[in-house]
Amino acid sequence: MPNWINLAHSPLFRFTLALLVLGLLRLAFLSIWEMASAAHQAGDRRIPYVRILTETLGWSFPLVRIRHTRWVYSYASFFFHVGILTTGLFLGNHIDVLQANFGLAWTEIGKPLLDVLSLATILAGSYLLLHRIYVISSRKLSKPMDYILILLILDIFISGYIAGKSWNPIPYNGLMLFHALNGILLLILIPITKIAHCILYPFIRLGTEIAWHFPPEGGSEVAKALHDPERRRI
């Protein structure tokens, strides 16, 4: 049996997936706990939950909004995310691995459509990488991990796309082993890097709103911290 198949059915893969799920659940729990604590201490508890939910859903599908600012970058980012989610969740081979390990399965998307999405993701990811390299404002905000994550995702998509083609010049099993190892590394990094926004995003707008509902006397305490000479020395 090829090494990549052994790896996909190994305790290492199951441990990695458990680490991913538990790590994301931990982040979600901590976010909810902190927001609940902040809301309990807020001076003004009239938090517009319905409006926040509507705005969050609106930004989850931002095709209308993103065309107004840096539309090329915004569309590239949007399709990059769509490609990652769609191919990751609905590729038949991925579903087979989950079913073999955990008994989970759902309807897959046809390979021709996924091939198109994979190419779109590769192009979008390449643009985002070049944007970080060559656009000064983006380069100043980028950290080494930002480049590593994009390169890792591109490695996964390019290797997976090429492996299934008849013109693939690289031995299939070796390329798929590379693909599987990169995939496992990405799963490990998700809860400890900015990709964790996949679970934290729904809480961002609510957390920001709650943060501005200060506790009683909170404004006075902030003013003292900013302007009191003794406190400033601390």
d(C-alpha 126, C-alpha 73), whole Å: 11
Q: Residue 232's pLDDT is what?
A: 47
Q: Residue 66's pLDDT is what?
A: 63
d(C-alpha 192, C-alpha 185), whole Å: 12
Q: Quick one: which H or E segment has residue 227? A: helix 218-227
Q: Residue 100's pLDDT is what?
A: 82
pLDDT digits (tens, 9 = 90+) for 123-161: 999 999 999 999 998 899 899 999 999 999 999 999 999
d(C-alpha 158, C-alpha 51), whole Å: 40
Tokens describing residue 213: 């509902």
> Can you give the pTM of this predicted structure?
0.81
**Is residue 81 a contact partner of residue 60, using CB atoms and an 8 Å limit?**
no
pLDDT digits (tens, 9 = 90+) for 40-75: 776 666 677 777 777 777 666 666 666 666 778 888
d(C-alpha 159, C-alpha 108), whole Å: 20
Q: Residue 214's pLDDT is what?
A: 62
**Is residue 35 a contact partner of residue 181, using CB atoms and an 8 Å limit?**
no
pLDDT digits (tens, 9 = 90+) for 209-227: 676 666 655 556 555 665 6
Return the SS3 of 164.
coil
- How does DSSP assign 114-135, residue by residue? HHHHHHHHHHHHHHHHHHHHH-
Could you identify the residue written with the tokens 């060559």? 134
pLDDT digits (tens, 9 = 90+) for 78-125: 899 999 999 999 998 888 888 888 888 899 998 889 999 999 999 999
